[in-house]
Structure 1
């Protein structure tokens, strides 16, 4: 039972993130043209993933979450066990628990898979992806969106507190996503989620995402590595400019995909998710429908955008039919009602302190 506005918003974030993940799973790696042809427009309903998607190849079911939201839920559980705080050792234990027990761990992202293997073997995760005998790493290692797609609970336990949300997000970025672009992206989602719990204005959420990205870049300069490649903030600025001048959904998605991108890279998919949230004005169904239709890494984009929109609008504003179907499919593995209540208790104590 939803007992407060804060509880409602946290439940909304958990639910809509998972619903977005499940909505985007059957279109992952497809092009937007293929998606529009198959669905006759935006993706607005759950379908069974086909064999040419990661979810379908992993026996994914209609309306079922993938590795994206499942990592988010494991992080939320770990934060509850820690009373709202998770240190480096606690995060590593959480990541390995997910890798060992989640049925969705078979399709880890490219940054996470090598780190998990190193942690299991007891070798130095800092050596994953190094080039030769140097400490330089391949640019694809640690620059993907795995940290951002799971990070929303770092904001859910810190309502309105962007600094604390970003500090907790940093912990969950290391050691798998130890780059400025991944940390900035994760902090943008964590900060936006934290702000969404305490405002009714979508503009406030977007501003918080921008500030979180800036804080993340600063934290990364002190605690991680700055590699070559596009900067998160520059891509986010461009994505939001595209959203601001968009006149219709399809033209917006086409421009966003062409100019920013929607791949697994944090510099593409995370700005895309935030821009979709802005274009949809936080509307829950439009947010995840647009995310599932843009193509490429649709499930991750819809997970992140869904977490933000759900925190802004709350569980009571979610589409009833989709929500009921999602709950029925995922209830065996994830008690989201209990998890939302436990997170809300932590968040409420912090607001009252």
Structure 2
């Protein structure tokens, strides 16, 4: 069956949200701790790691991670879609300043992990609060606002919409995401945002495969990001079961990951700009894509059981697989539970983004024809 643009966009966004919700309750833990807590590997939606003590148990409190609740990965993804819905064209760092920042600080929304309406600013992580501090209060040039922020996956985790708007055009997605992410991140955090958007754009292309997605990422990625993806995917190529791949993938990414072996106690060199390093989440998501051979359940559960920042890993791998195979690849019981538990309509953002994507393509075509006409005149003899 030939998947439509709408099929792929819906699959990607729903796939990302479900992956996020599955990974949230075990974020920050090791595969061994996850297995001990759940009596084996996580195979679906589970409750909070600390059970009914989630309100007070540190370091999770006060967030209700689990039971199908999405995290800030999905909240930021939906916020970026709202920006596309307003601008209805390609975005830049100035779009973040003009629209995303006001959305985060002025409009209360339902926050699943808080089980209350609140400003998104009150839920997002420090690396995202940075956008508000730098742009709204500091009046920094949006194109440079990401400089000085901790370098992590904060910008990459919500860049799937950029890839979808540029469906089938990974180079365009990479360039646009680098511009948008400049308001948020620098160094390998910004690079990962560009490469992830490119991965999603390639996954939308007719005939795309997990291998073609990896090849596209390697053709665009720079410095440590490219090296990390190459190392992790080489390690992943020898596995078809995530159980055997968990340790080899961690060992492959470790030389490039600045956080260190204890996720909750980052090293002194953690999250600092570097040309030799990479975020952990994107290479692992791509590695799990290969291990799972593009199967949604296998790919995302591998991402979840990897632990560490597994909600973001599963968000990324879920977005890519969803773009490859459409919404039908995502277990219906999972997406239904996540939508109900999070009190989110997972389909409306996809419909909105698909409509905007068609509008942008029409504008791109007109701009290209204008350029062609001008070039033809310039080169006429």
What do the CA deviations read for 1:270-309 (whole angstroms, capped 9, x no partner)? 1111111121111111121111110110111111111111
1:53 and 1:294 map into 2 onto residues whose CA distance is 21
1:196 and 1:286 map into 2 onto residues whose CA distance is 17
The partner residue of 1:187 within 185, 190, 194 is 194
Report what 1:320 is aligned to. Answer: 332
2:319 and 2:37 map into 1 onto residues whose CA distance is 26
Q: Indicate how the Cα distance of structure 1 residues 236 and 14 shifts in structure 2: closer, same or farther if over 3 A, else same.
A: same
Report what 1:23 is aligned to. Answer: 22
1:77 and 1:303 map into 2 onto residues whose CA distance is 19
Report what 2:227 is aligned to. Answer: 234
Given that residues 27 and 35 in structure 1 are in contact (C-alpha distance below 8 angstroms), is that contact kept between their aligned partners in structure 2?
Answer: yes
Secondary structure of the residue that 2:202 maps to in structure 1? helix
| Matched positions, count | 324
TM-score by length of 2: 0.77
* Aligned pairs (5 A) from 1:256-335: 256-261=249-254, 266-330=278-342, 332=343, 334-335=344-345
Report what 1:95 is aligned to. Answer: 101
Q: Which has the higher helix share?
A: 1
2:168 and 2:291 map into 1 onto residues whose CA distance is 23
* Aligned pairs (5 A) from 1:12-51: 12-49=11-48, 50=50, 51=54
Report what 1:79 is aligned to. Answer: 84
Given that residues 17 and 74 in structure 2 are in contact (C-alpha distance below 8 angstroms), is that contact kept between their aligned partners in structure 1?
Answer: yes
**Aligned-residue offset at 1:99:** 4.7
**Which is worse superposed, 153-162 or 31-40?**
31-40
2:234 and 2:94 map into 1 onto residues whose CA distance is 40
Secondary structure of the residue that 2:206 maps to in structure 1? coil
Report what 2:136 is aligned to. Answer: 120
Structure with bigger gyration radius: 2
2:240 and 2:205 map into 1 onto residues whose CA distance is 29
Q: Indicate how the Cα distance of structure 1 residues 149 and 121 shifts in structure 2: closer, same or farther if over 3 A, else same.
A: same
**Aligned-residue offset at 1:4:** 6.4
Secondary structure of the residue that 1:260 maps to in structure 2? helix
Q: Indicate how the Cα distance of structure 1 residues 162 and 19 shifts in structure 2: closer, same or farther if over 3 A, else same.
A: same
2:192 and 2:146 map into 1 onto residues whose CA distance is 21
**Aligned-residue offset at 1:113:** 2.7
Q: Indicate how the Cα distance of structure 1 residues 165 and 97 shifts in structure 2: closer, same or farther if over 3 A, else same.
A: same
Q: Which runs of 5+ in 1 are unaligned?
A: 131-136, 218-230
**Which is worse superposed, 317-326 or 24-33?**
317-326
Report what 1:170 is aligned to. Answer: 178
Q: Which runs of 5+ in 2 are unaligned?
A: 112-119, 264-270, 272-277, 366-381
Q: Indicate how the Cα distance of structure 1 residues 171 and 118 shifts in structure 2: closer, same or farther if over 3 A, else same.
A: same
Q: Indicate how the Cα distance of structure 1 residues 53 and 128 shifts in structure 2: closer, same or farther if over 3 A, else same.
A: farther
2:3 and 2:239 map into 1 onto residues whose CA distance is 36
**Aligned-residue offset at 1:105:** 3.7
1:12 and 1:105 map into 2 onto residues whose CA distance is 27
**Aligned-residue offset at 1:108:** 3.2
1:25 and 1:284 map into 2 onto residues whose CA distance is 17
Secondary structure of the residue that 1:285 maps to in structure 2? helix
TM-score by length of 1: 0.83
